[in-house]
Structure 1
């Protein structure tokens, strides 16, 4: 049986992952690239835990076809998908800010 606690773990860890991804973007924007990358790695760790809880729930569904899904689980899956998207975009934005920093350094050196 799938408990609310099982589902809540997805929401908690996915929420942490999304928040950390957004913090990583802000750090990159502020020029703290190394810190942003570290924060993004922490985001990915939280996302991995959320994904494992999701996988555990899916296995329970597979072993018990009579198990019913509910809106709470759908809500948790939505949180996880938002966290995945935020983490993916954070990676791209950190890379972009890092390139901008490098270009600014080159311009400053050549002025």
Structure 2
């Protein structure tokens, strides 16, 4: 596998982990386990940060003139990144909502 393909698979992996952890956080909040929910959400953000670092590196290389091969894998990786980012944003709101509901 080429270096770019390996890099893109790492991005997919980190973003997939982030999305999964964010969804797990929501499930913990549903069950009134706010501490574990917050911990999982932070882990999700940490994984997304790793994916973002890869994405930023690829964009920087392209801006500096390096040819980045456009492929289905690149599109798939970007899709995973954006989906993870959206799920994390929604999970943050769900955790706040469940915290209020479980207080009352």
For the aligned pair, the TM-score class normalised by the smaller chain equals: over 0.9
**TM-score for the superposition, normalised by structure 2:** 0.93
Retained in 1: the 8 A contact 2:15–2:81? yes
Larger radius of gyration: 1
Aligned to 1:94: 95
Map 1:1-111 onto structure 2 (within 5 A): 3-64=4-65, 66-103=67-104
Alignment size in residue pairs: 103
1:40, 1:90 within 8 Å by CA — same for their partners in 2?
yes
Q: 1:57 to 1:2 in 2, by over 3 A?
A: farther
The answer for unaligned runs of 5 or more in structure 2 is none
Gaps of 5+ in 1: 104-111
TM-score by length of 1: 0.87
